[in-house]
């Protein structure tokens, strides 16, 4: 099963894709369906907030795939800023290296309480690992940021 779309960066697309994922996963446990919807929302929201149209990626690309191995959600968007990507990469790496996703999430909340004017919160990335149970990978190539979230469905 797959959902593939090229999207304009509008908030209504987040709601529409959440609904499509919910419909496609109607036969799955509610916890898995909810996790997939949350992860798709977080990744799309980040693409809308931090992405920009570039010649190599004039729109946001969204791919949701479920097969025998598990579930994969990939969101790609343009970005002229390698610095923005590096901040994303720091959060993704921190999540991957964390022994306890709860601890890293709580630590980030504490940092934000102490310094609430930070440009990039990173909470959505940590939420994907903590609440969604998804592993993340990201890459930046030809001014395109791609984030892939994967989770086993068994």
* 114-130 average pLDDT score: 81
- Measured between its terminal Cα atoms, the distance across the chain in Å is 16
Q: How confident is the model at residue 118 (pLDDT cuts 50, 70, 90)?
A: low
Query: Over pLDDT 70: what percentage of the chain?
Result: 97
Q: Are 5 and 58 in contact (CB under 8 A)?
A: no
Rg for the chain (alpha carbons), in Å?
15
Total domains, the chain: 1
- Domain hosting 79: range is 2-151
Q: Which residues pair with 76 in a beta bridge?
A: 61, 146
Res. 82: pLDDT tops 70: yes
Q: How confident is the model at residue 120 (pLDDT cuts 50, 70, 90)?
A: low
Residue 118: CA count within 13 A, CB half-sphere: 14
Most confident by average pLDDT, 18-22, 108-112, 118-122: 18-22
Q: Are 40 and 22 in contact (CB under 8 A)?
A: no
Look up the CATH number of the domain holding residue 11.
Answer: 3.30.565.10
Alpha-carbon distance 146 to 74, whole Å?
7
Range list of β-strands (E), the chain: 2-7, 60-67, 70-78, 135-141, 144-151
Res. 45: pLDDT tops 90: yes
Among candidates 65, 23, 87, which has minimal Cα distance to 150?
65
Q: Are 15 and 131 in contact (CB under 8 A)?
A: no
Q: Which two tokens stand for residue 53?
A: 């149209």
Q: What is the reported pLDDT for 127? A: 92
Q: Which two tokens stand for residue 25?
A: 């996963």
- Tell me how far the alpha carbon of residue 78 is from its chain's centroid: 15
Res. 111: pLDDT tops 90: no
Alpha-carbon distance 98 to 78, whole Å?
28
Res. 116: pLDDT tops 80: no
């Amino acid at each position: 099963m797959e959902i593939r779309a090229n999207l304009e960066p509008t908030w209504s697309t987040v709601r529409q894709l959440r609904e499509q994922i919910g419909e496609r996963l109607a036969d799955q446990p509610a916890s898995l369906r909810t996790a997939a919807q949350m992860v798709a929302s977080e990744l799309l929201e980040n693409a809308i907030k931090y992405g920009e149209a570039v010649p190599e990626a004039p729109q946001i690309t969204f791919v949701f795939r479920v097969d025998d191995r598990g579930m994969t959600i990939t969101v790609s968007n343009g970005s002229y800023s390698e610095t923005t990507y590096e901040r994303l990469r720091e959060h993704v790496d921190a999540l991957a290296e964390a022994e306890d996703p709860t601890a890293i999430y709580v630590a980030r909340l504490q940092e934000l309480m102490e310094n609430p004017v930070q440009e990039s919160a990173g909470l959505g990335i940590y939420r994907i690992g903590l609440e969604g149970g998804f592993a993340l990978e990201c890459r930046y190539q030809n001014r395109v940021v791609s984030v892939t979230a994967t989770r086993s469905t068994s």
